[in-house]
Structure 1
Amino acid sequence: MSDLKKGKVLYFYTAESPFIEKDIVIINTNYSVKPFLFNVYDKKKILFIVIKQGLFLFRNLFSAKAVVCQFAGLHSVLPVLFAKLFFKRSVIVSGGTDCVSFPSINYGNFANKNNARLTRFSFKNASLILPVHQTLVYCDYIYQNNDYKHQGIKQFIPELKTKTSVIHNGYDNIYWHFNLNTKLKKTFITVLGHVNSKFTLQLKGIDLFVEIARKFPEASFTIVGGADLKLENKPVNLTLLSNIWGTKMNDVFSAHRFYVQLSISEGFPNALSEAMLCECVPIVSSVGGMPDIVDDCGYILKHKSIDELFVLMNNALNNTNLDNLGKKARERIKDNYTFEKRRDKLLAELEELI
């Protein structure tokens, strides 16, 4: 270990992603990071992975300063428990699904009794919780009426005493930028990511996106990550693309006028911020951190209503100042949600804790 490092940090996560990679890079600035991938998607190997994680902790915990878990759940139970037993510090970076419950679509850790127990134990026994937005701690919820009227960790753990400190996601505004001469008119894009349950389409608002495409036949609608979707009577103006990575996504965002995110639940969505850096005008649902991210740089759908969405999109299409609004959206992210701000706050929290 380099003499410049302040000790070792064990980092637990459940899937590879650019967000994970960025946080590991940040923590590795001051600490030697030893990561552990807990693949919860292969249900047949859960017991094996838990045993493997336990052995990893026995080999590494005693020489570590702290453990960091990306989200709370099954994968955070042993790290938090062992850290508490052996007087180490534990941190949970909460991002969304671990803070909510939407029984109507079977989404969120608190929507499942067993996951709720594991998540509750992790949050209550951790040393520090770092949500990516304040709405993940507690918020009113008005977007749709099928579930709880309040969401967030303290809605489901009102007795929580663990310290929480909000650290927003941060983005590279040099990497993400508008790289074309002009935007294609009347173009809407959304990013689906991975379809890992039958409720994903509702969760991510794809049902509304497809429905609204039918009402604007003169416009073009694109779903990135939707290539395998089986849609009945797919609108002719709807394009389904496979997942796109890296600079190619920059090109796709730059070509589109509007970025649409109509999710039922979100924390601090990366695709929204990246699209805004590419000067897409955002159209989002009033959930999670999205209204805060967008502010006055786009359009916010207050309720899950196709009629309200039609009015919103019609207003957006008739806006004659879209170029300036797109530039304003970029400046919003560039000024408020930088990689450097997340880096500095995350390292400061770890320094104070450890």
Structure 2
Amino acid sequence: MPAASIALVSSGRSSFVEADALILAREYEVRRLEWSGRDTYRALREVVRASDLVFCWFAGDHAAVAGFVARRHRRPVVLVAGGADVAAQHDIGYGAMAGSWKSRISTRLSIRLADLVLPFSEFSASEILRVRKPRRMEVLYLGVDVNRFAPLGAKEDLAVTAGAITESNLRRKGHATFVEASRKVPGIRFVLAGAVDRSMETDLRSSPPPNLELPGYLSDDELLALYRRAKVYVQASAHEGFGLAVAEAMACGCVPVVTRRGSLPEVVGDTGVYVEYGDADSTAEGIRIALSHPADGARARERVVQRFPIGRRADRLLRLVSDLLAGGR
């Protein structure tokens, strides 16, 4: 008997979307559809009609349209949500629910049309419930490949953060705070890794502190090597639906320095140092404390190994999809 097929619908590719695609491909034929607007509708319709289940990553136009087509053809729908798609961070203008009426409607429709919604943290589940109560919802944490993301070699007095360097992320990811904190701890190397938006490149590179490095975009292997060298990983965010980068860095033995915003306390627990959002002095002090307790990196890794291994997400995801395909809506 041929394997059932799954339509995996997203508005782009990212590491977590690719991870789920690989998991689903273990037992099913996966048909990919990357939504790019109305021009993609016909292809989406054909992919959904030819599949046994629709799996959408993030709420939005693509998930709402896929949900309508799936309803018409009686296909069950799984929606993974919990990031910008359901956020309403008005103080920094972040999230679909802080955006236009069109984005708010798309998010609500995506949730309403899904048979199963999978938030990737308890925090993201709470944000979904503020938008609309799903028919069925189960928290399923993102997963880390703890065999790949593992310590290797000696650690350095190095504080790292990563993420695309855009005007939005200066506030949302706390990049501006990280840069200011580097001025307050001049004896320590700081690395802000990520592709730099062209509109910001001149400002960022014109007068950086001498201890701050801006290497630009790093490949997955280069980022892994950086995590392995660093003693500290900083996530000074205003909002995180999960915080995969900090979890991967923790798995490499970094001591996390984070805010109490979003899902970060769920991920970090008692293994890191907490700082105030937007406060460079607090962040600098948190980095000093973390550097003085490098052994806490082992506890941080153990938390990820125990709570967020990719194998746990894979097993549960495949079981949930199997139940839906068997008619257990």
Structure 2 length as normaliser, TM-score? 0.91
Equivalent of residue 298 in structure 2, options 287, 308, 327: 327
Deviations 1:98-145 (A, max 9, x none): 12112333210101121011111111121111011110121xxxxxxx
Deviations 1:30-65 (A, max 9, x none): 2211000124xxxxxx3xxx242x212432333321
The answer on whether the counterparts of 1:257 and 1:280 sit within 8 Å (CA) in structure 2 is yes
Segments of 4+ in structure 1 off by > 3 A?
A: 226-229
The answer on whether the counterparts of 1:11 and 1:68 sit within 8 Å (CA) in structure 2 is yes
Aligned residue for 2:59? Answer: 72
Aligned residue for 1:183? Answer: 155
Equivalent of residue 145 in structure 2, options 172, 177, 187: 172
Matches of residues 108-123 of structure 1 in structure 2 within 5 Å?
Answer: 108-112=95-99, 113-123=101-111
Matches of residues 1-354 of structure 1 in structure 2 within 5 Å?
Answer: 3=1, 5=3, 7-39=4-36, 46=37, 50-52=38-40, 54-112=41-99, 113-138=101-126, 152-157=127-132, 160-180=133-153, 182-185=154-157, 187-193=158-164, 195=166, 198-225=167-194, 227=196, 229=201, 230-231=203-204, 233-317=207-291, 319=292, 321-322=293-294, 324-354=295-325
Give the match's secondary structure for 2:85: helix
Give the match's secondary structure for 1:223: strand
Q: Cα gap change, 1:233/1:250 in structure 2, threshold over 3 Å: closer, same or farther?
A: same
- Please tell me the residue identity of whatever aligns with 1:207: A
Cα deviation for residue 315 of structure 1 reads 2.6
Give the match's secondary structure for 1:199: helix
Cα deviation for residue 11 of structure 1 reads 0.6
Deviations 1:199-247 (A, max 9, x none): 2211110111011111111111110015553226421111101211232
- Please tell me the residue identity of whatever aligns with 1:13: S
Cα deviation for residue 194 of structure 1 reads 5.3
Q: Cα gap change, 1:223/1:326 in structure 2, threshold over 3 Å: closer, same or farther?
A: same
Structure 1 length as normaliser, TM-score? 0.85
- Please tell me the residue identity of whatever aligns with 2:22: V
Q: Cα gap change, 1:251/1:156 in structure 2, threshold over 3 Å: closer, same or farther?
A: same
Q: Cα gap change, 1:225/1:303 in structure 2, threshold over 3 Å: closer, same or farther?
A: closer
Percent same amino acid among aligned pairs?
Answer: 28
The answer on whether the counterparts of 1:101 and 1:111 sit within 8 Å (CA) in structure 2 is yes
CA distance in 1 between counterparts of 2:82 and 2:123 reads 10
Q: How many residues align?
A: 319
The answer on whether the counterparts of 1:227 and 1:241 sit within 8 Å (CA) in structure 2 is no
CA distance in 2 between counterparts of 1:62 and 1:15 reads 21
Aligned residue for 1:146? Answer: none
Deviations 1:149-191 (A, max 9, x none): xxx112233xx242111111111112112121x2112x11000
Cα deviation for residue 303 of structure 1 reads 4.2
What is the root-mean-square deviation in Å for CA atoms of aligned residues? Answer: 1.8
Cα deviation for residue 285 of structure 1 reads 1.3
